[in-house]
Chain A
Amino acid sequence: MSETTPEADPRRLAEEARDRVHFEEEALELADQVYRVARRLVSTREEAEDLMQETYARAFRAWRSFQPGTNLRAWLLRILTNLNIDRGRRQQRSPDFQPLEEGDYYLYNRLEESGREANADQERVDDRLSQDDVVQALSAVPHDFRDVIVLVDIGDFSYADAAQILEIPIGTVMSRLHRGRRILKRELAGEAVTSA
């Protein structure tokens, strides 16, 4: 018969405290990586900072529900994306886009067409696009598509992780990614050609 003895309680409490401290330290070590994703999911630095603080406050309260050995960064991002939705930042539905005529070569073709160097053999990305172009173009991509681009292309999450974080089927991750990248390239073409 197992019975909690007065001696066992302090030991259990000490073990729990140790596990909690370990969890908190690991979560804090990931903060830089989580922030990079958070920053591109929202529009401003202030929003990203608020969201990070809410996420970590919730994670520290709910630490027992994290399963050790699983992906802590994905777990934190799942909390963060849920909070982002709860806060109503994404209540507006993404507009239904007309079918995109532009294919995957669109950006290259536009840059080539607008190239000043008539005989440029090869377009170089960093000759024609600036960091600001990327930030502007990314912020113009509708949320549903931007979320997957940010998680997969910037946060380095697998399709499966992104599906779990966003609670959508993996096929939806793939189709949004495909379409989102095309939208991003269309926006980049607009930025690059305007600033050329």
Chain B
Amino acid sequence: MSFPGGVEVDPCEKCEEMLQPYLDKQLSDAEIAEAEAHLQGCSYCRKRYVFEEELRMFVRQAAVEEMPPDLKQKLADLRTPLF
């Protein structure tokens, strides 16, 4: 891909840079269209985008540790007595 100034940018490298803002929905419409056009024709990037999306879900689930049951009671005990 050629840009003003003649700097050559590897389209997969550019796609990699767009990965996080794409999943965070931070790209402009034009950038989304550019990323999606590239993804459609590039299985190398597509696999990595799918992986990233799965990874985020996996991290979210794996990081969850439920609150110990007795802690809620301890927190409730901190409430101001009514009388």
Q: Chain A interface (Cβ within 8 Å of chain B)? A: 17, 20-21, 24, 28, 31-32, 35-36, 39-40, 45, 49, 52-53, 56-57, 60, 103-105, 107-108, 122-126, 129-131, 133-135, 138, 150, 153-154, 174, 177-178, 181, 184-185
- CB-CB contacts of B50-71 with A at 8 A, as 1s and 0s? 1110111111101111111001
Contact of B51 among A24, A60, A123, A133 (CB under 8 A): A123
- Contact (Cβ within 8 A) B80 A125: no
Quick one: given A20-B80, A45-B68, are A53 and B60 in contact (CB under 8 Å)? Answer: no
- Contact (Cβ within 8 A) A60 B80: yes
Quick one: given A107-B55, A153-B56, are A53 and B20 in contact (CB under 8 Å)? Answer: no
Residue of B whose beta carbon sits closest to that of A185: B55
Contact of A53 among B47, B75, B82 (CB under 8 A): B75
Q: How large is the interface on B (under 10, 10 to 19, 20 to 34, 35 or more residues)?
A: 20 to 34
Q: What 4 A-B pairs come out closest when comparing CB atoms?
A: A134-B62, A35-B67, A131-B62, A125-B54
Q: Chain B interface (Cβ within 8 Å of chain A)? A: 13, 16-17, 19-20, 26, 47-48, 50-52, 54-60, 62-68, 71-72, 74-76, 78-80, 82
Contact of A125 among B26, B51, B79, B82 (CB under 8 A): B51
**Could you write out 19 A-B pairs with CB less than 8 Å apart?**
A24-B79, A35-B66, A35-B67, A36-B65, A40-B65, A53-B78, A60-B79, A103-B16, A103-B17, A105-B19, A105-B48, A123-B47, A125-B51, A125-B58, A134-B62, A135-B62, A153-B56, A154-B64, A174-B26
User: Smallest CB–CB gap between A119 and chain B, Å?
Assistant: 14
| Besides A57-B78, A104-B19, A123-B51, 15 other A-B contacts (C-beta < 8 A) | A28-B79, A35-B67, A39-B65, A52-B75, A53-B78, A104-B16, A107-B55, A122-B47, A125-B58, A134-B58, A138-B59, A153-B59, A153-B60, A174-B26, A184-B59
